[in-house]
Chain A
Amino acid sequence: MTQTKFLKSARIAAAGLAVGAMLLTGCAATGNKSGGTDAAANASAFLTIPREDMGTFVQNFNPFAPTVNPMVQQSIYESLLVFNPAKGNTVPWLATDWKAADDGKSITFTLRDGVKWSDGQPFVADDVAYTFELQKKLKGGYEYLDGVTAQGNKVTFNFNKPWSPALSDVGQLSILPKHIWSALADPEKDANAKPVGTGPYTEVDNFQAQSFVLKKNPNYWQPDKQKIAGIKMLAFAGNDGANLAAANGDVDWAPQYIPNIEKTFVSKDKDHRHYWFPPTGAMINWQLNTTKAPFNDVDVRKALSMAVDRDQVTKIGMSGYAQPADCTGLSGNYETWKNTQVKDTCTWTKHDVQQANDLLDKAGYPKGADGKRTLKDGKPFEFKISVGATSSDWLSVANVISQNLAEVGVTAKVDSPDWAAVVAGYEKGDFDSGIVWSANDPSPYKYFNTTMGTASVKPVGTKASDNYHRFGDPKADALLSDFAAATDQSKQKDIANKLQEEYNDVAPLVPLFSGPEWGAYNDTRFTGWPTQDNPYATLSVRAPSTVLVLTSLEPRK
């Protein structure tokens, strides 16, 4: 580190002016490190990853903690199977095989042989059964799960009703070692400072408030896939710091949102820096509170949706990184489930001001002499769009929508208090409309259940945690229960097609765009990253598929 004496004030002033001049002229000086192209150095290097939303770490590797430390569920603990949304495939992991019973009321997993915990103990079926007991006891949920039985290398999950969505639910839970966790007095409050897992990198090393290292699990079941020496996490109190580290070439993987990525990141080293934003995140919707008029009118919902220019929304609001929604309402995560007919004959998610106007006229919301529409009771057609003040991208999305709506004579005011206030309004049901994310799961069951299933509708005033728009459709209910009971995939696909037709008819909410999963990398030191051409995982560091990346990367030779 350079040792420098205190700078004279004149020099400081000059420097300040220099910075200003540099920013004005847009001069892009690069501070790149020469980068280790040395194979030996790469082999002993740690895969360095920034964490942009934790200014500091605490040594707590308990997977039950609400704010879980990075990599606990990606690198330390593993699940029975790994779903890869980028390709829509499922990779067998701690289980090699699974089979649903004919009546749909149970699933049996066959566990992989030869898997050991990082302390050398064998991984057994009892560990899986215990994990679910513990999870159900501490965290609740899994109401459909009657019990888990372990026998030899097989684990059977028994349900109280035919329930096919269970596969992704139970298949993706991190499995914990019974011999460690059953010995804890209070497993929920234990810091689990020295975790024991089956994952590729489990050994916590040099834990500091702003960085820590995970080294190789000495007993990993795929030792040939532990090609990197370890993972190093760095703490940042915001995107800016993490982006600077990425631009400066100090980190190998940059999973946070980087504005203008071509210029700020890629352009500094085009050969080694790449990004890929597959549209596999949750669908981002504009949700209209259907307990309020006029949002209870399907024609109004469709007309408002047609007034929205989704190309503008994704271009201006999302820097062109996201893809506009279609009438199936499904994000890119469900590409293989999409009903192509619904998608191809789509009307109400296409920008069409003329149609929107006609539909609103027809539905009985006439334009006045001032060009503004009125409601049926004569009041002006005015409402609010709520977005949390800190989400600058969604805030511009809301602003674009508000401008679009003005073209059809509807006044929408963007309301941006703190997220806490916004969400409180969603939960109580006293909001007008808002930008909301949706459930994202391997199967589309949950998405449709929480957008139009009556079971998820809570009365206004009662706390809702999904289906904030409070829309329930009995027709969808019947299809949803059929879907849950169907055990083979072709039948599930048929029902999913019908669900999309129903969705297309009733337009429960206004889908906007598929949330992109941010991911950028610098392959100076490590190669083997997932790409659009080889989508074996997404570039997210918090997804279940992250473990696929960790076991594929290798040091550059």
Chain B
Amino acid sequence: MRFILRRLGFYLIAFWASITLNFLLPRFMPGDPVSRMFARSLDRMQPEQLEALRKLLGVDDRPIWEQYAGYLQNILTGQMGISITRFPTPVTEVISSQIGWTLLLGGTALVIAAVVGNLLGILAAWRRGSALDSALPPVLVFIGSFPYFWLAMGALYLFGVVLGWFPIRHAFTDGLEPAFTAEFIGDVGAHLVLPALTIVLVSIGGWMLGMRNTMIATNSEDYITMAEAKGLRPGRIMLRYAARNAMLPSVTSFGMGLGFVVGGALLTEVVFAYPGVGYQLLNAVQGLDYPLMQGLFLTITAAVLLANFLVDILYVRLDPRVRSN
């Protein structure tokens, strides 16, 4: 219990530090949102409208500490303000309408990559020198080292455009009304295949190699030899004895990955026109949309910290050595 409380305190401080950074970073960037909007609209906006817009959007010139106090208060009360680039839509609405798709895409890809990658790693280490062990890791690492954008465009072109197996854009077919019907869920699933597949492809090699390497170290431990000497079934030794202990680093990576899912897969969203918060974040940064940026950073920070906290707790269960510390 004391361990968990101590960790909790640490996370609170980390949270404060990151929200303070969230506040400061955008304000160090040159320009203000209204000038940015003006510049991006090219000649479509009247210069004399800038002042009125500044006032409307609340681009304030209050002293920075006063803005900071207001910002902290808003965070504690859950008010994230109104998005500037999407004015007058509240930040919470912009984020909540899209974060579901981000979680679906990132979560699916993460789970598939982690589960399949770890299983392959376990098998590869268990059968060292087999075809699986000698051929698959280099191939996967090779694919993983492609620039993601290129790989995604290639997959989109081949499976979407040329072969026509999968839809090439959006989260579901235009014109469908979202509903919990088999048709809609199937449609969402079909739209999810290519974006998720490409993320899995580039990340699976890392999972597999990581697991394989820890497994190999674990396999040479005395207790494995002992288990073999006792005549236990190889499958039981592999999963219960070796894999369970070799899994700790993977658990950490999974927790981290879970946190970063919230940040969205920016490139995936751009290539497959998938709705999500990654592109929204890019847009917010480009438009100097402070409220939206802060809202997104806050969500990401909270998710990363929460995921880490959960991993910490899980660790206590998985590894008794942590407790005695």
Tell whether A and B belong to one assembly. yes
Name A residues whose Cβ lies closer than 8 Å to a Cβ of B. Answer: 1-4, 7, 9, 12-13, 15-16, 18-20, 22-23, 29, 31, 55-56, 58, 60, 62, 65-67, 138-141, 143, 188-191, 206, 208-211, 213, 232, 234-238, 240-241, 244-245, 248, 282, 390, 418-421, 423-425, 427, 437-440, 463, 465-466, 542
The answer to whether the Cβ of B239 comes within 8 Å of any Cβ in the partner chain is no
The answer to whether B151 touches A16, judged by C-beta atoms less than 8 angstroms apart, is yes
B12 interface residue per 8 A CB criterion: no
Query: Given A66-B84, A206-B177, A241-B271, A419 and B40 touching (CB < 8 A)?
Result: yes
Task: Name the residue on A nearest B85 (C-beta).
Answer: A67
Instruction: Report how many A-B pairs have Cβ atoms within 8 Å.
Output: 189
6 additional contacts (CB under 8 A) given A58-B89, A542-B44:
A20-B154, A140-B51, A235-B273, A241-B272, A420-B39, A427-B31
- Choice from B155, B166, B276 contacting A2 with Cβ under 8 Å: B166
Q: Which residues of B contact A439 (CB under 8 A)?
A: 43
Chain B residues positioned under 8 Å from A419 (CB to CB): 36, 39-40, 286
Chain B interface size band reads 35 or more
A429 to B3, CA, bound (A): 57
Per-residue CB contact flags for chain B residues 36-51 toward chain A (1 = under 8 Å, else 0) read: 1111101110111111
B275: which A residues are within 8 A, CB to CB? 55-56, 209-210, 235
Interface contact B169-A13, CB-CB below 8 Å: no
- Contact A427–B35 (Cβ < 8 Å): yes
B155 → chain A closest CB, angstroms: 7
Determine which residue in B39, B82, B186, B187 has the highest number of CB atoms from chain A within 10 A of its CB, and name it: B39
Contacts of B310 in A (CB 8 A): none
- A165 smallest CB distance to B (angstroms): 12
Question: Which residue of A is nearest B42, CB measured?
Answer: A437
Q: Which residue of A lies closest to B36 (CB)?
A: A420
Which residues does B use to contact A, with CB under 8 Å? 29-31, 35-40, 42-44, 46-53, 56-57, 82, 84-89, 93-94, 97-98, 136, 139-140, 143, 146, 151, 153-162, 164-171, 174-175, 177-178, 186-187, 190, 193, 197, 201, 269-273, 275-276, 279-280, 283, 286, 288
- Assess the A424–B87 pair: CB atoms within 8 A: no
18 contacts between A and B (CB under 8 A): A12-B201, A16-B146, A18-B158, A19-B154, A55-B276, A55-B279, A58-B89, A67-B85, A141-B49, A209-B97, A211-B174, A241-B270, A420-B29, A423-B35, A425-B30, A427-B35, A463-B35, A465-B35
CB closest chain-B residue, reference A466: B47
CB distance from B81 to the nearest CB of A (A): 12
Q: A1: nearest residue on chain B (CB-CB)?
A: B190
**How many whole Å from A14's CB to the nearest CB in chain B?**
11
Is A421 a contact partner of B30 (Cβ separation < 8 A)?
Answer: yes
A245 to B15, CA, bound (A): 42
